[in-house]
Amino acid sequence: MPVFYLDAVSRYRADSYTSITQITNYISGSPLSKQLSAQEFTQRWDALAESHSKRLAAIASAAEPKADGTFGTGYLCRTVRKLVPEDSIFAIEAVTNTLFVADNIQATIPGSWINCGGGGLGWSGGGALGIKLASEFENGAGKGKFVVQIVGDGTFLFSVPGSVYWISQRYKIPVLTIVLNNKGKLSPCHVEVLADKKQAGMPRGGQCCSSTPTVWDRKPQTKSSISVSLPRLTMLVLPRLRLEGICSPRK
């Protein structure tokens, strides 16, 4: 998270868990702790606790399956959370579903939620195997924590699943993979719609894509490896770059 614009007295780069622990210890042994137990702060804390429990209730109700029995990522993740061991480690590469996964997995054990803040997708297949190996190393052979990878259907392919599961099988490194199939790569669709809105002079924001993304509706016309492996974003945007030959609507 960029914080360079905050007008701070000093800035430090530190491990968040270590620094929060140190700050908490410091405050509880200093006169500040008396100040913090003043009514103003207890009231603020009560208000926070109340809004937090309301938020948890809203998340739970939004995750309820629909009347026709269908359900979304929220319900899936709540169910997974109940079924897997409490101290499981989650390797998350869920892209547009990440918020629903985070809201419903509610990982609280330090180190049990491993995500990637950057744009380089495709790490979670090999990453999940590495996490499992590291956990076995830390806790002893056969005592490693249960590892759950939750990944978007597009991103799943970026991680070269053929290699991942060959290695998993060959070296006996079990992990659970859950692929979130929203029938395509939704996030590039957001980019596409935003680009369209910008071109049309419309304001940003609002609902930029339907919640049910369209299935891939274009296919490459050439055998170029680029057109085969590039995602929908490229397929939809490339024609604007006058490379119409690469993609055209499916007949």
Binding residues vs ligand TPP (CB under 6 A): 95-97, 119-122, 152-155, 158, 182, 185-188, 231, 233
Rounded CA gap, 64 and 178, in Å? Answer: 19
CB of 121 to ligand TPP, least distance (A): 4
Residue 41 contacts by C-beta under 8 Å, 6 or more apart in sequence? 35
CB of 131 to ligand TPP, least distance (A): 19
CB of 210 to ligand TPP, least distance (A): 13
Query: Between residues 72 and 188, which has the closer beta carbon with respect to ligand TPP?
Result: 188
Give Cα 125 distance to the centre of its chain: 14
CB of 2 to ligand TPP, least distance (A): 19
Nearest Cα to Cα of residue 147 among 181, 124, 170, 163: 124
Query: Between residues 84 and 237, which has the closer beta carbon with respect to ligand TPP?
Result: 237
In the block, tokens 């830390």 appear at 138
Rounded CA gap, 158 and 161, in Å? Answer: 8
In the block, tokens 């997974």 appear at 80
Query: Between residues 73 and 168, which has the closer beta carbon with respect to ligand TPP?
Result: 73
User: In this structure, which long-range contacts are made by residues 24-28, counting pairs with CB atoms below 8 Å and at least 24 apart in sequence?
Assistant: none
Query: Between residues 39 and 212, which has the closer beta carbon with respect to ligand TPP?
Result: 212
Query: Between residues 88 and 97, which has the closer beta carbon with respect to ligand TPP?
Result: 97
Q: Are strands 113-114 and 147-152 parallel, antiparallel or unpaired?
A: unpaired
Task: Work out the number of other CB atoms within 10 angstroms of the CB of residue 158.
Answer: 18
By beta-carbon distance, which residue lies closest to ligand TPP? 152
CB of 140 to ligand TPP, least distance (A): 34
